[in-house]
Amino acid sequence: MTEQASRITATCGTCAAECDGWLVQLIRDRRLHWERESSCASCGTTVCDGDRGAAPADVRAALLADHGEYRLTAEGTGPRSGAVPKAFRDAFEVSLAEAGSAANAARGAGWCGTRVEVVLVQRLLDGAGVAASVIEVREPQRRTR
């Protein structure tokens, strides 16, 4: 299973103490999933949230900062080119328009995302017979908070 996680500091919704948490993005059954969880050491409250599809902006930003950014470039032409927007739509559960613009980026200068995201899209494209390459475009940054 491909997975990335970032440690965060959250505020407990029950007692307002500071608690440790995790933001996670993973691939399960060829679909993207994200999770946000925290557990409070003071009162024991555990919060777990998550869904399928594209991760919320804060989850994505933390993963990009902690693990770096990757760029996927897909083979642009030929009879299988329709597989490119389909891969983005399947991976992220986004609209046709959003999948189309991501596919255009992937067939042009490249589409950037977290490693989990590009690995999933590459895997879906591979399954559809479309060649795609992935490179690291930004090293992980040490976050300041």
Which residues bind to Zn ion, rule: CB under 5 A?
Answer: 12, 14-15, 17, 40, 42-43, 45
Nearest approach in angstroms of CB 48 to Zn ion is: 14
Query: 38 or 122, CB closer to Zn ion?
Result: 38
Q: What are the backbone dihedrals phi and psi of residue 44, each rounded to the nearest 5 degrees, phi first?
A: 85, 5
Residue 35 pairs in a beta bridge with 24, 50
Q: β-strand 31-39 against 18-28: which pairing, if any?
A: antiparallel
Q: Which residue's entry shows tokens 């042009």?
A: 108
Strand 111-113 to strand 18-28: parallel, antiparallel, or no bridges (unpaired)? unpaired
Q: Which is nearer to Zn ion, 9 or 42 (CB)?
A: 42
Query: Closest separation between CB of residue 17 and Zn ion, Å?
Result: 5
Shortest distance in whole angstroms from residue 44 CB to Zn ion: 7
Residue number with CB closer to Zn ion (42 or 95) = 42
